[in-house]
Structure 1
Amino acid sequence: MVTWGEVVRWSPAPLAELVGVLNGRYQQLMGCADELRASGVPKGWSGPAANAAATKVRELGEAAEELAAEGAMLRRAAGDVSDAVSGVLNGVREAENLAAAREFLIADDGTIVDQGPPPVCTPSDPDGSLVTAERQRIAAELRDRVHEVLRSADDVDNDFCAVLDRILSNHVIDGDGTSLAAAGNAGWSLGSLTIPAPPPAGAAPADNAAWWATLSPAQRTVLARDHPELIGPRDGLPTEARDHANRVLLDRTRANLAGQRTELQHRIDGLRRTAGGDIVLNDRAAYERLTEQLADIEGKLRGVDAIYDRLNHPVNGQPAYLLKIDADVAGKAIVAAGNPDTAQNVATFVPGTGSGLDDIGGNIQRSDLMLEQARRAGSASTAVITWVGYDAPATIPDAASTRYADQAEQPLHDFQDGLRIAHQGPAAHTTVIGHSYGSTAVGQTARDQGLAADDVVFVGSPGVGVEHADELRLDGVPPGEAGKHVFSSNAPTDPVPALTNFDLPYADGLDPLGPDPTTPWFGGQTFESDPGDPRHSHSQYWDRGSSSLKAMGEIIAGNR
């Protein structure tokens, strides 16, 4: 088991030098290949001496092949270890830089020591609880980073020891009398080291970020090429790395959906037969089931094409990044307009009932409109993310249940935490916007998990899971002050909030989704929305020039 004190003293330089030496020796050995091939028992020589000579020649050839295999195996392993050590040391540097910046110390045994001053009570943090919670969060992140560095270091150490043990056993290959070059190639393939495995699926974003920090550029390239599924959906990793991996997964998703569409169409056609010019269905129930499945697949393909279109066409100079793609159930996708790792103002938009892969294009357009409005409000550096990262209710009756929001809590919490961890430079001002049932998902996440957000916005809400704004937990916002960071609005003609809320203080507890957050007794801030067309007002909050869109742009820009 490697210790922190040992890892910080690791260096890739001696191994890199060893590779250079081994390369030179290996080439010298390869230069003897022709001589070994020409050596043997002279023609016509026979008898005991000739047999002994032939045996010796064969033994020398096998020894040379073993040596070639061992040399190739060692130089491959030494090169891989040198590269891996550089990655591990990058993880060490990131952890130590974070510790130094926040006045922590990482001891030789990996213990995290808080060297900061005692919490200072302020009017916004009268009991010092916010500072204490922040110190505890940093300490936990440092422990995660130390754990991942040591896990990767152990992986490298164990792999290298296994290679050395095999070399020392003098049985790298089975002598088959082929050639030195073939023996060297066999040894080279056996000398490769494994790349440290990522944390389990569903790991905390800090664990993911710590693992990524311990990988060298070469290891990251190999993973992105061979296993994009290990990178694309992982919260806490850099946006550009996730985008690169998810574009590969997007290609696979489209090919898979196209294959399903072809198969379904073939099966549907098989249920038809022409009789007297009329189409007769052999099995109407099966036909209807298959056509429904086909419509679902075609909807997802339209969504995939909308993602391709946005990725390939910047809007107002803003490129897009793909942070998740998943075609299961209704489908999930997360698309960022602008890079959230570098933007000063970052917003996450969570749509509601009926959201999935099939309508992702319309929700991406809403995010682009909010980004444009935030820039008009003075935000020079902005990213707005369309977060369809949960299975939203498919219908209005489904939206009466909290179970969809329950299932959204952990993914949304981890996504926001991952944005915080992956962000470069000073912390961004972050906003999370929930529309319709999406507001319920946002509210419940802030209530139960806490949310890495400075502000939250609820529009057209059927309820956000709490009876008062101060029940929402936002990172860095003192208890009792959440209402100053909660903004909500309902269009006067929007039927969803009108039909799903009692709007009576004494009846708030009866509503399974919670009360209307725009009511005066909820304790939040409100902003105006235009009346709109009663038939469409639930989706008109993003109409160009609307009061609601302007207000959301102001909030994203940090002006309220």
Structure 2
Amino acid sequence: MPHRQRDEDAQEEHALRVAVMAGYRNDIQAALDQASTADWKGMQLLQKSDAFTLDKDYGAQAAKDGARQVAGFAHLDEDSIPSKKDPKENAKWWAGLSEQERQEYLDAYPDKIGWLDGIPSADRDEANRKAVDLSLANYDMKKQNGELGIHDQRQYEGLQKLQTALDKADGSGDDNKRLYVLGIDTKGDGRALVSKGNPDTAHNVAVQVPGTDNDLVNVDEQIERVDRLQKASRQRGGDSTAVVSWLGYDAPETDASMATTGRADPAGGDLRSFTHGLRESHQGERAHMTVLGHSYGSTVVGVGASHGGGLDADDVIVVGSPGMTVDHAKDLNMNPDHVWAGWAPDDIVSTDASGKTLGENPAEKEFGGKVFEVDTSGHGGYWDKGRESLANQGRIIAGMPPGEGKYRVHPHPHPPKTEGPDW
């Protein structure tokens, strides 16, 4: 690479890092201006977060640590943040804080506040965007120092895709295209909860749970999927619709873990906490809520719905389902007439794998739910543009009946259970 080009690239990256750190510095300054207990130590913290520290290791982390110390001046610490997954308690705690205290918690502990089910989505979004900025700055410094490993590189790529999507949506000027980051985590394969539209104000709220082989690096594909679902709903009367991509769990890889509930069991509880949290944070009249699950995501939905009183959803949609861990729709703590299944005749998961180790096939009449029309093919075609498969999901999200499809007819009335899948 020519020397001039290297200099320009370095200057561009440095400018980005300066901008990120300037944001944290502004946050700290705002907290200091408002905190009655702040003293001269606060000015020392500001000096630590000056832009020149970007050229040193852990500059971004130093700014975050400074924000935590500022919060400490006001006797706000991490131990005070609710640790139990109780949306009602989270909402009560958050509402009991002053505006100044909430801001200081957002600045000091964005990675904690961003995952609190039950608090306003706008506040979660602010916290998680700070967490994204901090992570990107840290990965950028690792890259500059030649310390970016394979795992870090994948997470870095995923966060960059998310940031690109956020920038594009922010620049559109369309509230319906506004993205809200309701959870972000780079540990393991990564987790990302991203909403198209504000679920606290929308009349129709949908939560899409992806399945096998999804992680942070394909967050852009998940955002595209919820975008299509939102458009499908709005085109069919659901003008006020928000759709969340909920990758809030460690989705299984294409291996034996797909055949067990090992990944779904903990994820189901987290999903249930999330949907109950959306009920807590919603403003005005109760929203019509739909929870969708694709592939193993439908197994997660099944676990969440069949335990703890259910998901509090008005409708559930599953497509390409290997099973929902139950034998009948009535076991999902909701009206079976509002449990919908879609399946493509050439989707091997729906035709061969379902009904074996993860519960009965929800597309069969004996399951007790309903089937909607699908006119797409394969395991990943359910969101193809211009097709009834997508349109019918949009109708259900908007609270309208879809075009009904044919139940899957198994060659044997009561297929024998097997010890493992052949998929």
For normalisation by structure 2, the TM-score amounts to 0.74
- Equivalent residue, structure 1, for 2:108: 226
Tell me the distance in 1 between the aligned counterparts of 2:207 and 2:197.
12
3-state secondary structure, aligned to 1:360: helix
Shift of residue 395, structure 1, vs aligned partner: 1.5
Would you say the 8 A contact 2:324–2:362 is kept in 1? yes
**Separation (CA, whole Å) in 1 of partners of 2:235 and 2:109:** 40
Matches for 1:74-85 after TM superposition, within 5 Å: 76=36
Asked if 1:393 corresponds to 2:274, the answer is no
Inter-CA distance 256–499: structure 2 relative to 1 (3 Å threshold) = farther
Find the counterpart in structure 2 of residue 342 from structure 1: 201
1:483 to 313, 336, 351: 336
Among the aligned pairs, what percent are the same residue?
A: 40
Matches within 5 A, 1:340-489: 340-449=199-308, 450-474=310-334, 482-489=335-342
- Residue 486 of structure 1 aligns with an amino acid whose one-letter code is V
Unaligned runs of 5+ in 2: 1-34, 39-69, 402-423
- Counterpart of 1:240 in structure 2 is 122
State yes or no: 1:553 paired with 2:394.
yes
1:202-241 Cα distance to aligned partner (Å, 9 max, x none): 3311111001111111111222222222311111110111
User: Distance between the aligned counterparts of 1:461 and 1:203, measured in 2?
Assistant: 28
Q: How far is 1:530 from its partner? A: 1.8
CA contact (8 A) 2:82 2:90 kept: no
- The equivalent residue for 2:135 is 253
Number of residue pairs aligned between Structure 1 and Structure 2 = 329
Which residue of 370, 376, 384 maps to 1:543? 384
Structure 1: distance between partners of 2:156 and 2:391? 32
Going from structure 1 to structure 2, the CA distance change for 1:425 and 1:332 (only over 3 Å counts) comes to same
Q: How does 1:171-210 map onto structure 2 within 5 Å?
A: 193-195=74-76, 198-210=80-92
Contact map agreement 1:321 1:336 (CA 8 A) in 2 = yes
| 1:227-284, Cα deviation, whole Å (9 max, x unpaired) | 2223111111101111111111001222333445566x569xxxxxxxxxxxxxxxxx
Q: CA RMSD in A?
A: 2.3
**SS at 2:245's partner residue?**
strand
Cα distance in 1, alignment partners of residues 80 and 367 from structure 2: 43
| 1:432-461 residue CA offsets vs partner (Å, 9 max, x unmatched) | 000000000001111122112111000000
Structure 1 unaligned residues grouped into runs of 5+: 1-74, 80-188, 268-292, 475-481, 503-510
Match of 2:168 in 1: 313
- The equivalent position to 1:514 in structure 2, one of 359, 371, 389, is 359
Shift of 1:518: 0.5
SS at match of 1:458: strand
Counterpart residue number, 2:154 = 299
1:87-166 map, 5 Å: none
> What is the CA deviation profile of residues 334-355 of structure 1, one whole-angstrom value per residue up to 9, with x for unaligned ones?
0010000000000000000011
- Residue equivalent to 1:496: 349
Whole-Å separation in 2 of the counterparts to 1:260 and 1:364: 27
CA offset at residue 388 of structure 1?
Answer: 0.4
CA distance in structure 2 between the aligned counterparts of 1:388 and 1:496, rounded to whole angstroms: 20
Query: Given that residues 209 and 293 in structure 2 are in contact (C-alpha distance below 8 angstroms), is that contact kept between their aligned partners in structure 1?
Result: yes
AA aligned opposite 2:200: D
For residues 125-168 of structure 1, the C-alpha deviation after alignment (integer angstroms, 9 at most, x for no partner) is xxxxxxxxxxxxxxxxxxxxxxxxxxxxxxxxxxxxxxxxxxxx
Note the C-alpha offset of 1:397. Answer: 2.6
Q: Distance in 2 between matches of 1:339 and 1:221?
A: 20
Aligned CA distance change for structure 1 residues 378 and 199 (closer, same or farther; 3 Å) = same
Q: Distance in 2 between matches of 1:258 and 1:358?
A: 16
For 2:85 and 2:359, the matched residues in 1 are separated by 31
- Contact (CA 8 Å) 1:346, 1:382: kept in 2 or not? yes
Conservation of the 8 A alpha-carbon contact between 1:313 and 1:319 = no
Return closer, same or farther for 1:368/1:407 CA change in 2, 3 Å cut-off. same
Q: Which moved more, 1:407-416 or 1:248-257?
A: 248-257
**Alpha-carbon separation, structure 1, partners of 2:204 and 2:160:** 28
SS in 1 for 2:217: coil
Decide which moves more: 316-325 or 405-414: 316-325
Name the SS for the 1:209 alignment partner: helix
Match of 2:94 among 212, 224, 229: 212
C-alpha separation in 1, matches of 2:376 and 2:192 = 31
Q: Residues 369 and 516 (structure 1 numbering): CA distance in 2 closer, same or farther, change over 3 Å?
A: same
TM-score by length of 1: 0.56
Shift, 1:201, TM fit: 2.0
Q: Return the index of the structure with the highest Cα Rg.
A: 1
Residue in structure 1 matched with residue 189 of structure 2 by the alignment: 330
Alpha-carbon shift at residue 312 of structure 1 (Å): 1.6
Alignment correspondent of 2:421: none
User: Which residue identity does 1:320 align to in structure 2?
Assistant: L
Counterpart-to-counterpart distance in 2, 1:246 and 1:299: 19
